[in-house]
A and B are shown apart, each in its own frame.
Chain A
Amino acid sequence: MTIGAAAVVSATGLALWIALAAETATGWGCLAIGVLAVLTLAVGLAAGWPSAIPVALALLGAEYAVFLGVDGIAVDARAPLVAAALLMTAELAYWSLELRAAIAEEAGAIARRVAFVTLLALLGMLLGAVMLALVDAAGGEGLWLEALGAAAALAALVLVLGLARRTA
């Protein structure tokens, strides 16, 4: 219950932050998507539907995309923070679903897990920062750079899906 509430609070915080950071006109749209995301997450956790979690996270991502697209910021340096918050929300949400089964935990298990989730979020933020730094270092625009980015993204997709398929 507590962990589920923490996941919802984390999602709410992220949704509000993006909505407040946006300009007034965009803010309401962002807020609407954010509210929908938080509701999806809350209902999913209450009902025990794991498939609601990626939907809620995708909605939060969509809220951020709307914020980026409409406000037309060059490169948002807060993206690693958003990534870390999304990862933390996801980890907390899945953890709360695991805790629905009444299983006695051994001493220290909760603290260990909290530390692990925090570490994951920090590593996620670090990875995002490195990626942004690379984007910044590459600088400018160009066909070759876009093609390289698309190839990298597609390669990452193929890698992830291939691994998941091979090991499933």
Chain B
Amino acid sequence: MTRSASPRLAGYAALSAAGLLAALALRRPELAVLAAPFAALLVVGLQLRVEPSVGAWLELDRDSAIEGDELEAELVVRSDTGVDRLELVLALPPELEVAEGDNPVALRLGAGDERTVPLRLRCARWGVHEVGDLRLRARDRLGLYTWEGRVDRRRPLKVYPRAERLRALVAPFETQVYTGNEVARVKGDGLEFADTRPFEPGDRVRAINWRASARRGELIVNERHPERNTDVILFLDSFAEARRLDESTLDLAVRATATLATRYLDRRDRVGLVTFGGILRWLMPGMGIAQRHRLVDAVLETEVEFSYAWKDVNVIPARTLPPKALVVAVTPLLDPRAVNALIDLRARGYDLVVVEVSPVAFVEPGASDLDRLAYRLWLLRREELRSRYQRLGVAVARWGDETTLDAALEGVRTYRRRALLARR
């Protein structure tokens, strides 16, 4: 611990000196009497000074939590020498708040004492947060010296994004070859009835539709849609964000991405991730619980990294975007690099859905007429951008303050049903 003299030490020394010198100069013993307690306090304090030996650490009841959760934490502090006053503070990242308990706190410890300070921490925002940075300040009995130290036993606390309510997902136009929960549009072995056709050699007897055969006077078999899995690529735009106080479009986007990843994986789909921003991150499509953990961990690392470098889809590894994959882009549509990359993806034939995390609620129109005009022009430009996507056959779900993610995706599903009819 680093020792430093308190202002009291210099002040009392100066007062003692001034009092004693004045007593000598003025030949008044009373002035020496005034200085004597300060001088005596200094002598006693300096003689009794002992450097404190203090140990402290943080205990958390778990290493991971969901956004909005509250964690039980304990600050444990122990001293071998005893400390008259120990100020203890747990330095927390801004994403964690103290919901209950005292931080910072002042304690008095006897020699060999161990004390526990209970705290309840609220996880205000998702992310990987480092917790366990403790700052200590000890004072001696007479407050002449302070010792300051830091116990850095930080460890990661993973706070996963809160899941959004979602009843149904957006189904891709095309499925893959593996078994899954998505009813394929092609015909084959499956459960869902598709059509009937005349019997052909090689057809299974169990596929014969006896009623239809009796009516038609020839053997008729049922055709079915097989259940297949799909490849879903979540495209998270992290070039820019709109922020207000404690929430940003990136927060919402990460929440939506994590929710979609979890729900698609639940359907036995292969899910991949591309975080397209100042730093490009990707995760190859995969399935299962391990992939869920990989995805959520990758999403947790997402931050807006400012960059002027121009990026397009060519920088994305080809294997990250398999053919026939559904690309779900979660974006505030603020950065032209992401906007153009999505148009490029569509032009390359990818089945694309855009979930627009609306930044409109994060932007104030401004006070002056010019500001309001600029705001209206900005809104019109956004409308035009959406129309551009729709002309390319890309459904755009607007998710903002007024709508839930589920309602926004319902609009996409409706759009895609109509688009499918148009394709047929």
Contact = CB atoms under 8 A, between A and B. Distances in A.
Contacts of B37: 83-84, 86-87, 120, 123-124, 127-128
A61 B34 contact: yes
B73 interface: no
B15 A68 contact: no
A21 B33 CA distance: 19
Contacts of B31: 61, 64-65, 68
A89 to B, nearest CB: 11
Nearest to A116: B141
B23 interface: yes
Nearest to B102: A104
A92 B17 CA distance: 21
Nearest to A138: B29
Contacts of A146: 27
Do most interface residues of chain A lie in helix, strand or loop, or is the interface mixed? helix
A112 B26 CA distance: 39
A156 B34 contact: no
A128 B46 contact: no
B105 A128 contact: no
Size band of the interface chain B makes with A: 35 or more
B7 A51 contact: yes
A41 interface: no
A153 B28 contact: no
Interface string A125-142: 001100110010000000
Contacts of A102: 104
Interface string A153-167: 110110111011001
A87 B142 CA distance: 12
Contacts of A68: 26, 28, 30-31
Contacts of A65: 22, 26, 28, 31
A66 to B, nearest CB: 10
Interface residues of A, number: 54
A123 B41 CA distance: 10
B40 A127 contact: yes
Given A54-B14, A103-B106, A106-B106, A164 B42 contact: yes
Nearest to A69: B26
Most buried by A among B15, B34, B87: B34
A18 B40 CA distance: 24
Contacts of A50: 7-8, 11
B102 to A, nearest CB: 3
B17 A83 contact: no
A2 to B, nearest CB: 17
Interface in B1-56: 5-24, 26-34, 36-43, 46-47, 49
A102 B19 CA distance: 35
Contacts of B28: 65, 68-69
Given A69-B28, A101-B104, A163 B33 contact: no
Contacts of B18: 58, 61
Given A58-B14, A82-B33, 19 more contacts: A51-B11, A54-B11, A57-B11, A58-B18, A61-B15, A64-B30, A69-B26, A83-B37, A87-B37, A94-B7, A103-B105, A128-B36, A131-B29, A131-B36, A153-B32, A157-B16, A157-B20, A163-B47, A167-B46
User: What 10 A-B pairs are tightest by C-beta distance, nearest first?
Assistant: A124-B37, A104-B102, A50-B7, A79-B30, A54-B11, A128-B33, A79-B33, A153-B20, A163-B46, A135-B29
